[in-house]
Structure formats: structure tokens, C-alpha cells
Homo-oligomer: A and B are copies of this chain.
Amino acid sequence: MAGPDSKDFMNSQHFSTKERILGAAEQLFARLGFAGASLRQVTAAANVNLAAVNYHFGSKENLINEVFRRRLDELNAHRLQALDEALKLPDTGLEPLLSAFINPALDLSLDRGGGGAFVRVLARAYAEHNDALRKFLSDNYGHVMKRFHAAFAQRLPDLDKEELYWRLDIVAGALTYAMADFGVIKRKSGVTEQQHRERSAEHLIRFAAAGLRAP
């Protein structure tokens, strides 16, 4: 009756125990939260022994960190690459910078294979304000936000440093939340995935630019 759907598909022998745990954890953290999803649920969904989490990751907290690392390494690399290219162009305002930040995440949220779940996990992390997690993210990816911060600061010279800092934080939070919902919303028929992605990005960029340029 039920063929292997996309959720169970990766619980097969084609993926290592570590990969299956990470995939199942991502799905369940997105759905139930970090505190709400138990290791017993994760290991059952991954078709793996309960002790495997502590064997491969040491602890639940570290598993959470690795769920982030797996996606953020690539995501932030794409962001920095896009930022570099945006900075090569003549100064054309905030929009190219926002594109560099948003488009890699939107690609992730719309692709197959769990990226959509991860974007929802990210949205949860923002809402959580979890200290340990924030430290991990700051330690590992703080330099990315620093690069973006510097680029925005250069294009918004009248905004003082502190003001810019929390505006970027709010913009990042709002965008993260919005992208988490884009993954859930199905696009209208007659619109290709590519068109949907481009329109979504446009909306978000206008949205964010207006917030940042507020006097």
C-alpha cells in the first residue's frame, strides 16, 4: 500500500546511521521542537538503536548543534559567495545584499530532501532565544553576520551601529520566520517553482529593505 515516501526513504541502508539520525532529528525538531522531540522518537524514525545518538553525537544537545552545522556550513558559504559577488558590483543599495542573504535560504527551503524542515528548525531557534544554541551559532557563524553587518553599515551610514545591529537581528528573524512559512505554502498551479521562488524573494527583499531604511 504505502511505498517508501520521502520521509521514510532515507531510513534505508543507503544512508549511514549518523545521516539517518540527523535527517530524522531535523524532521522531528521542526515538528515538535527541541524539547518536544525525544531521542526515542528520533531513533525510532531513523530506524536506529536508541544508544546510537549518544554513541555518535555524545548528547542530545550536541545532536542539535550538528543538525544546524550540517545545513549552515553550506548555507552560509553560499551566502558569503553571493555577498562577495554583490560587493563587486557598483553600489546599488540594500537590495543586492538582501538577495545575497535571502536567496540561499530560499533555495534551501524550497528544495527536496528536508531543507524545508531545516528552515522551520531555524525559525524555532530564533523564537527560542536559547543561550547555548545562540553561543554555538555565534561561535561558528558569527563571522558571516559580521560580513553582512559591515556591508549594510557602509550602505546605511546615517544609522548608528547599535540601531543597525538590532534592525538586522529583527530583519533576519522576520525573514527566517517568513521563509519557514514559504516552505509550507504550496505555490499556485500555473506558476513554476522558479517563478515562485523569484517572487517570494522579491517580496521579502522589499519588505526587509523598507524596514532597514526606516528613518
Contact = CB atoms under 8 A, between A and B. Distances in A.
Contact of A181 (B120, B128, B170): B170
A214 B166 CA distance: 24
Interface residues of A, number: 38
A155 to B, nearest CB: 17
B174 A207 contact: yes
A111 to B, nearest CB: 20
A132 interface: no
Given A127-B126, A173-B177, A181-B173, A209 B206 contact: no
Main SS at interface, chain A: helix
A210 B120 CA distance: 24
Nearest to A32: B35
A88 to B, nearest CB: 27
20 contacts: A33-B33, A124-B127, A124-B128, A127-B127, A127-B177, A127-B180, A129-B184, A166-B181, A169-B181, A170-B177, A170-B178, A174-B174, A174-B175, A174-B177, A177-B177, A202-B214, A203-B214, A206-B211, A207-B210, A207-B214
